[in-house]
């Protein structure tokens, strides 16, 4: 019995040590957690007029940061911020540069081969935006046209596959960021910009003539957003998942959501007037980290 007790104790110590390896161990030894953020993904993660990262996803990430502080008993844990792009966010997570990625990142099965995600925090769809004067209503209307999407996104991958499968002959160009892509439509260098509808809506709302633009009624796919964490790091993901679930079950999510989607947001005071969708209400009631679009139907 004594040997069994010693073995059980050793296993417990071993498990505890394993839990402190990976991201939690990295954070504890360095005394800091690094949060990856975007510069123009309104209202998820972007700069305010003081060049500080703010937004809906940032608020949720800071809830996870608080949970990490509690888990590690480090109330004075330093929070570092690292700007990321659509193209480099996954590599920077995989190589340990960032510990959380707080933006507008789609969680899908293919990406789960490289990174993991905590609970879905928004459900959107892949659509396109064009000037109303272009009269682009269907995919067929885009045949032979020049369209743009953002480099490193699921959106550009999907529209490229659709283009080939349906022999649409579109000229697909990539932009370095969402504002650059939208500007291409504004200036006529592209007839349409393919991206998540919520991001298209925020870009149009910030433009000089919001009424000139129209987002497609056709949705090309369902896109669940998640906060990225490192792959195979079960201990850190468990802390993040618990924090997100608590935000949902406590009702805190309602005030956080309303702040960013139903009220004017800084620095320009735009209001998206977007009530919580039925798909996301289901997630709040029953949190999931699924990368399968069918889980959100």
- In a shared domain, residues 71 and 136: no
Q: Phi and psi for 246 in degrees, rounded to 5?
A: -65, -40
Task: Give residue 142's pLDDT.
Answer: 97
The DSSP letter of residue 275 is P
Mean pLDDT by 10 residues, the chain (297 residues): 44 41 95 97 96 98 98 98 96 97 95 97 95 96 98 95 97 96 98 96 92 93 96 98 98 98 94 90 97 92
Residue 5 lies in a domain: no
Residue 16 lies in a domain: no
- In a shared domain, residues 199 and 275: no
Q: Please count the structural domains in the chain.
A: 2
The DSSP letter of residue 99 is S
The residue ranges of DSSP E strands in the chain, in sequence order, are 32-37, 40-41, 45-47, 53-54, 78-83, 100-102, 115-117, 122-131, 146-150, 171-175, 192-196, 213-215, 221-225, 228-230
From 221, 250, 279, the end of a domain falls on 221
- In a shared domain, residues 45 and 82: yes
Residue 17 lies in a domain: no
Q: Could you give the CA distance from residue 247 to residue 237 in angstroms, rounded to a whole number?
A: 15
From 181, 199, 221, the end of a domain falls on 221
Element (H, E) at 231: none
Task: Give residue 20's pLDDT.
Answer: 53
CB distance 196 to 155 below 8 Å: yes
Residue 107 neighbours by CB under 8 Å, 6+ apart: 117, 120, 224, 225, 226, 289, 290, 291
- In a shared domain, residues 135 and 217: yes
- In a shared domain, residues 183 and 213: yes
- In a shared domain, residues 73 and 111: yes
- In a shared domain, residues 134 and 146: yes
Whichever domain contains 89, its CATH number is: 3.40.190.10
- In a shared domain, residues 97 and 233: yes
Task: Give residue 21's pLDDT.
Answer: 78
Residue 44 lies in a domain: yes
Residue 6 lies in a domain: no
Distance of CA 27 to the CA centre of its chain: 22
User: Facing residues of 103 across strands?
Assistant: none
Residue 3 lies in a domain: no
**Number of neighbours of residue 92 by Cβ within 10 angstroms:** 18
**Interaxial angle between packed helices 56-72 and 252-261, expressed in degrees from 0 to 180 and rounded to the nearest 10:** 150
- In a shared domain, residues 48 and 64: yes
Which CA distances in Å does 257 have to 91, 123, 175?
29, 13, 29
Residue 12 lies in a domain: no
Task: Note the pTM of the prediction, 2 decimals.
Answer: 0.83
Domain range spanning residue 193?
A: 125-221
Residue 10 lies in a domain: no
From 164, 192, 221, the end of a domain falls on 221
- In a shared domain, residues 290 and 240: yes
- In a shared domain, residues 152 and 188: yes
- In a shared domain, residues 184 and 231: no
């Amino acid at each position: 019995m004594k040997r069994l007790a010693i073995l059980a104790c050793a296993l417990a110590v071993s498990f505890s040590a394993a839990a402190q390896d990976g991201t939690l161990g990295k954070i504890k030894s360095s005394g800091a957690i690094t949060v990856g953020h975007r510069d123009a993904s309104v209202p998820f993660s972007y700069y305010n007029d003081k060049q500080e990262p703010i937004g809906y996803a940032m608020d949720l990430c800071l809830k996870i940061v608080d949970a990490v502080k509690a888990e590690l008993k480090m109330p004075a844990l330093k929070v570092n911020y690292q700007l990321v792009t659509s193209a480099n966010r996954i590599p920077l997570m995989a190589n340990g540069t960032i510990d959380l990625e707080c933006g507008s990142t789609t969680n899908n099965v293919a990406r789960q081969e490289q990174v993991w995600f905590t609970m879905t925090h928004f459900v959107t769809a892949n659509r396109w935006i064009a000037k109303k004067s272009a009269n682009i209503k269907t995919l067929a209307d885009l045949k032979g046209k020049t369209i743009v999407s953002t480099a490193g996104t699921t959106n550009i991958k999907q529209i490229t596959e659709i283009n080939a499968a349906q022999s649409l002959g579109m000229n697909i160009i990539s932009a370095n960021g969402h504002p650059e892509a939208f500007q291409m439509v504004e200036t006529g260098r592209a007839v349409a910009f393919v991206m998540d509808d919520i991001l298209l809506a925020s870009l149009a709302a910030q433009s000089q003539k919001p009424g000139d633009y129209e987002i497609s009624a056709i949705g090309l796919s369902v896109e669940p957003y998640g906060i990225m964490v490192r792959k195979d790091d079960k201990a850190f993901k468990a802390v993040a998942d618990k924090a997100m679930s608590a935000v949902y079950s406590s009702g805190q999510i309602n005030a956080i959501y309303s702040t960013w989607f139903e009220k004017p947001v800084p620095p320009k005071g735009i209001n998206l007037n977007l009530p919580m969708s039925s798909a996301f209400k289901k997630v709040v009631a029953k949190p999931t980290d699924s990368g399968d679009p069918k889980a959100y139907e």
